[in-house]
Structure 1
Amino acid sequence: MIFDKLINHLKLDKQEFTFQFNSHPNYPSALAFSDTLNFMGVKNDAYELDKEYWDELPEEFIAIVDNSFSLVKKSGAGYSVYSEKAKTLNKEELHKKSTDFVLLFEKTENAENRAAFDFKPLLYVVFAIILGYSFFTQTLFEALFNVLSLAGVYISMEIFNQKFGNTSTVIGSICGDTSGKQATNSCDKIIKQDKTSILGLKFSDFSLIYFTGLVVLGLFLPATAYIVKGFTFVSVLAVAYSLYIQAFVEKAFCRVCLLIISILAGQLVLSILFFENTVFTIGMLLLTSVLWILIFCTVLYFTNILTQKEALQKSNAKNLRFKRNYELFKSQLLENEKIEFQDTETFSLGNKDAKLRLSIVSNPYCGFCKDGHKIMEGLLEKYPDDISVQIRFNYSPERADEKYTRLLSAFNFMYHNKPQKEFLNAVEQWFETRDEEKIVSLARSSDAQDLTPFIEMTMDNNNAGLNFTPIFILNGHQFPDKYDREDIWFFVDELMEDEDFQ
C-alpha cells in the first residue's frame, strides 16, 4: 500500500512508519494504520461516517480514497487528496471514490522528532564550499563543469535513496505522473527495474560513483584536465547504453535519465571546447585509480549495508506482526497466576472505576523504574477515563533511610492534598533530578506522614513474589516476561475492549 504524499505531508519518517505499519498484527487494516499514526505521535480517532455529514469535518482528515489511505484537505469548492500522488477532486468525485471511513487526527509536538537524522543540510554545506571554491579560484567554464558534476551527484543520490524505499520529491517532480497511460514518462520502469548488476551495484549506482569522482577531480582543474576529458569521452558509451535500453529494451523514456544524459553531454562539450590538455603523468593516473576504487568501495559498502538493513526490517516486521498479535499476548498474560492485592489506600490514579487496572511495583531509587513510570504517565494522559493506575512503592522502615522516609512522606502529602497532575509532576521531577529536597519543597510540607499503608503494601508485594522492580500488573496478571513494557501500547485498546479479560 502506497501513501507517500500522506506521510510526507505529516512530516513522518517513512521508513519508521512503513516498518511499524507492516509489523502490526492487523496489517493492512484501518486499525493498523490508526495505531501506527498513534505510535508516531499523531493522535487520531476513526469513525464510520455517512457522506452527508462530511461537510462538518475539519479542514484536514484522512479517508480511504481509491482503496488507499489518503489525506484530504478542503480547498475551496473542491478537495486536495494526497496518497501515492496528489490530485484534486470535487465533492461528488470524492464521495464516489471513498468509503465511509474517516480518521480525524491531531499532531503532537514530538510527531516530527521521530524522523532519522537528515544528512541533507550537511550535504548542502559541502556543495556550497565546493561551489565557492570553484567560482573564486577557477575559470568560469571549470566552475560550470563542477556545477554539472554536483547536479549529477545530487540526482544520483536521490535515485540511490529511492532504491531503498525513500521518497524523492525531486525525482517525483522531474518524472511527473508515472501512472496509467503515461508509461512513456515512467522513471520506475527504468530505474527500479534496472537489470544491471556488477557486485550488486546497479547502473544508477555507477552514476553516483562517476559524478562523485568528477567532483573531486574537478577541484584540481586544470591540472586534471587530461584525465577529466578522458572520462567525459568514456561517458559517451554509458549514454549510448542508456538510450539503447530506454528506446529498444524497455521502450519507455525516463526523464531523470535524460536529465543525467544532458549533464553528461554538457560536460563533454565543456571539456572539448574549453579544457586544454595537460601533461599526463603516471602519478596522476595512480591517484585517480585510488580515488575511483575508494568511491566504488564506499558506494558498494553502503549498498550492502542498506540492503541488509532492508532485509532485516522486512524479517523483523513479520516477526513483530506475530509478537503483537493480541490473542498471543493475552494467552501469555493469563499464564501468570492472578494476584489478589489487599485494598490498600495508596497512590491510585486515573479512573478508579475503570475496567483496565494497571499496577506498577517500583522503587524511587531504581534506575530502571524511570522508563516504567513514563509509560504509566503516558497511558494516564492518553486514557484518563479508561484506565486505573496504582503506584506501589516498596517501603520497609527497617531498611529505609531518613531521606527515603522524607521523600515518601512528601509524595504522600502531595497525593492527598494536591491535584493529580501536580503529584505526577513531582514523581516525574524525582526521576529526573533524584533531589529529595526539591520534592519536599514542591510538597511545601516536611511533616512526617503515616506510612503504614506502604508497609502493608510492601508485604503484599513480597507475598506475591514481586521482589524486583519495575513490574507491571494488568488486572492482577503480571506483564509477560517475553514482552517489553513498551509493547503495552500495542494492546491497551484491545485490553480495554476485551470483556473476558475484564
Structure 2
Amino acid sequence: MNFEKLIDYFKLDKQEFYFQFSSHPNYPSALAFSDTLNFLGLRNDAYELDKEYWDELPEEYIAVVDNSFSLVKKKGDQFAVYSDKIKNLTKEELYKSSSEFVLLFEKVEGAKTGSSFNYNPVIYAIFGLIILYSLFQFSWYESVFNILSLAGVYISLELFNQKFGQVSAVVNNICGVGTNNAAQSSCSKIFSSDKTNVLGLKLSDFSLVYFLGITFMGLIFPDAQFILRITTLVSAAVILYSLYVQFFVEKSFCRVCFLIIFILLSQIVISTVYFSWATSLAIIFISATVFVSLFFTTAFLNNLLKEKEELKKSNAKNLKFKRNYDLFKRELLDKERIEFSDSNTFFVGNKEAKLHLSIVSNPYCGFCKGAHQIVENLLHQYPNDISVQMRFNYSQDQQNEKYTQLISDFMYVYKNKPEQEFINLVEYWFETRDEGKVRQKAGITSSSENLTPVINMSTENKNAGINFTPIILINGYQFPDKYDREDIHYFIGELMEDEEIYKEIIPVI
C-alpha cells in the first residue's frame, strides 16, 4: 500500500508510519491504519456510513478510494483525493470508487511529524552544479553525455533504494502506478526475474556502478574518451540481454528498463560519432581503479542495507507479537489489583474517565523523568479519556529540607492554581532538577503546605509492596514487567474500550 501524498499532507514521519503500520497485529486492516494514525498523534474514529449521509461529513476525512486509504478534501463541487498521488474527483466518481468506510480525524499538538533529513534537495543541488559545470566546461556533446550519465545515476539510485523499502515517486510514475496496474506489474515482474548475483548485486545495481563510473570519468578526466567509448559499446550487450528477457522470457515490458536503454543507446551514438580513440596507460589504470572501487563500495552498501532491512522486518514481526492486546491484557491482569484510598491528591485529567493511571515515583529518581513524560503525553493526547494520579514517595522523617519544600511547592500549585500549571511544574522539575527555579516558576515566596496526604499516600505505596520507582498502574493493575513502559502507547486505545478493565472500578469523585 502506498500512502505517499496522505503522509506528506499530514507531515507524518514516513518511515515511522510504515513501520508501525506493518508491525500492527492486524496489518493491513482498517484497524491497523486507524491505530497507526492514533499512535502518531492523529486522533480518529472509524465508521461505516451510507453514502446518503456523506454530505454531512466535515471538509476533510479519510475514506477507502480505489481500495486505498485516502484523504478526501472538499473543494467546491469536486473532491481532492490524497493517496499514492493527488487526484480530483467529482462527487459521483468519489462515491462510485469508494467503500462506505470513513475515518474522521482530529490532529492534536505533539503529533509525530517527519523528522528524518530529506536528502533530495541536496542531491538536486549537486546535480544542478554538475550540469552547469558541464555546460560551461565541455563541448556540447560532452555535456549531453554527462547529463545522460547523471540521468542514469538518478534512476539507478532510485531503483537501488527501492529494494530497501523506500518508495520511489519517479519509478512509480514511469511505471504508471495508480494509473496502469498492468504496467506496474510488468516493471515488478522484470525486476524480480533478475537472477544476476555477484556479491549480492543484481543487474540494476550494476547500472548504478556503471553510470557512477562514467559520470566520474567524464567530469574529472575529459581525456578518457577512449574508456567512455569502450564502456558504452560494452553496454550494448546488456541492452540485448534486457530486450531478450523482456521479449522472449518474461514477455512483459518494463518502462524503466526502456528509459535506461534509451540513455545507453544515446551515449553509444554520441561516443561513436564524437569521441576519440586516444588513450594512455594512466587513464586505463585510473578507470579500472574507479570502477573496481565503485563495485566493491556498492556491494558493501548493498549488503549493509540488506542486513538493516532484514533486521527491520524481523523487528516488525516481533513487534506484531508484542503488540497483541490479548497477551498484554493477560499479563496486566495476572497480578492482583491494588486499590488506593487516596484518590484526590495530585489527581489530574478527567475525574469521570473510566481509564485511570497511577504513577508511583520519586522526584529525585533518574528513571522517573521518562515515566512522567509518557504519562503526561498520554494525558495531553487523551485529556477527556483518562485520569492520572502522581503518587510521590515521601516520608517526613527520612527526607531533607529541600525535598520537603519541593513537595510543598507541588502541593501549593496543585491546590491553588490550574491543573495544567501543576503538570507543567512537575515537568519543569524533571527538566531542571533545581528546587530554587521550581519555586521561582511557581511564584511562591513563602509557603508550607500540609503534607499529611502525601505521607499517607507514600505509606499506601509501601503497604502495597511498591518499593521501587517508577511504577505505572492501569486501573490498579501494575504495568507488566515484560513490556517497556513506552509500549502503553500501543494499547491505550483498546484499554479505553475494554469493559473488563473497568469492572468494579468506582468513578473518582
**Structure-2 change in CA distance of 1:186 and 1:275 (3 Å):** same
Name the CA distance, whole Å, in 2 between partners of 1:347 and 1:136: 71
Q: Which residue of 1 aligns with 2:507?
A: none
Distance 1:67 1:172 in 2: 18
Matches within 5 A, 1:4-83: 4-83=4-83
Uncovered stretches (5+) of structure 2, i.e. residues with no partner = 503-509
- Separation (CA, whole Å) in 2 of partners of 1:196 and 1:14: 31
What code does the residue aligned with 1:396 have?
Answer: S
Q: Which amino acid aligns with 2:239?
A: V
Cα 1:109/1:194, change in 2 over 3 Å: farther
Q: Secondary structure at the match of 1:237?
A: helix
Counterpart residue number, 2:447:
447
Matches within 5 A, 1:325-474: 325-343=324-342, 345-445=344-444, 446-474=446-474
Distance 2:8 2:186 in 1: 21
Q: 1: distance between equivalents of 2:79 and 2:343?
A: 56
Structure 2 CA distance for aligned equivalents of residues 110 and 390 of structure 1: 22
Q: Is the 8 A contact 2:379 2:386 kept in 1?
A: yes
| TM-superposed deviation, 1:6 | 3.4
Q: How big is the shift at 1:75?
A: 4.2
Q: TM-score, normalised to structure 1's length? A: 0.92
| Distance in 2, Cα, partners of 1:386 & 1:33 | 21
Aligned pairs for 1:94-133 within 5 A: 94-108=94-108, 111=111, 113-133=113-133
- 106-115 or 90-99: which moved more? 106-115
TM-score (ref. length: structure 2): 0.91
CA contact (8 A) 2:51 2:95 kept: yes
Higher mean C-alpha displacement, 403-412 vs 41-50: 41-50
- TM-superposed deviation, 1:217: 0.9
Q: Secondary structure at the match of 1:284?
A: helix
Q: Separation in 2 of the partners of 1:109 and 1:353?
A: 23
1:139-178, aligned counterparts within 5 Å? 139-177=139-177
| Cα separation, partners in 2 of 1:369 and 1:112, compared to 1, 3 Å | closer
Contact 2:342–2:457, Cα closer than 8 Å, also in 1? no
Say if 1:273 and 1:180 are closer, same or farther in 2 by CA, change over 3 A.
closer
Once the 2 structures are TM-superposed, how far is the Cα of residue 148 of structure 1 from its aligned partner? 1.5
Matched, 1:323 2:318: no
The reply to whether residue 248 of structure 1 matches residue 248 of structure 2 is: yes
Correspondence for 2:485: 485
Aligned CA distance change for structure 1 residues 110 and 210 (closer, same or farther; 3 Å): farther
Q: CA deviation at 1:163?
A: 2.2
Alpha carbons 2:176, 2:183 under 8 Å: kept: no
Does the 8 Å CA contact 2:41/2:381 hold for their aligned counterparts? no
Please say if residues 176 and 184 of structure 2, whose CA atoms lie closer than 8 Å, have aligned partners that are also in contact.
no
Q: How large is the Cα RMSD of the aligned pairs?
A: 2.5
Q: 2:194 matched to which residue of 1?
A: 194
Instruction: Quote how far apart the aligned CAs of 1:110 are.
Output: 5.3
Change (3 A) 1:107 1:292: farther
Q: Distance in 2 between matches of 1:157 and 1:495?
A: 44
Q: What residue is the counterpart of 1:273 in the other structure?
A: 273
Which stretch shows the higher mean deviation, 479-488 or 182-191?
182-191
Q: Which runs of 5+ in 1 are unaligned?
A: none
| Distance across 2 between alignment mates of 1:90 and 1:134 | 47
Q: CA deviation at 1:184?
A: 9.1
Alignment of 1:215-294 (within 5 A): 215-281=215-281, 283-294=282-293
Distance 1:149 1:106 in 2: 47
> What is the aligned partner in structure 1 of residue 203 from structure 2?
203
Report which stretch shifted further, 331-340 or 169-178: 169-178
Do the aligned residues in 1 keep the contact of 2:183 with 2:254 (CA within 8 Å)?
A: no
The amino acid that maps onto 1:250 is E
CA distance in 1, matches of 2:418, 2:110: 26
Output the CA distance in 2 between the equivalents of 1:236 and 1:292: 18
How many angstroms does 1:34 deviate by?
0.6
The alpha-carbon deviation at position 389 of structure 1 amounts to 0.6
Q: Tell me the distance in 2 between the aligned counterparts of 1:260 and 1:366.
A: 60
Give the counterpart letter for 1:454 in structure 2. Answer: V
CA distance in 1, matches of 2:174, 2:369: 49
In structure 2, how many angstroms separate the alpha carbons of the residues matched to 1:146 and 1:183?
29
Q: What is the identity, as a one-letter code, of the residue corresponding to 1:210?
A: Y
**Contact 2:73 2:80 survives alignment (8 Å):** yes
Q: How many residues align?
A: 501
Shift of 1:162: 1.9
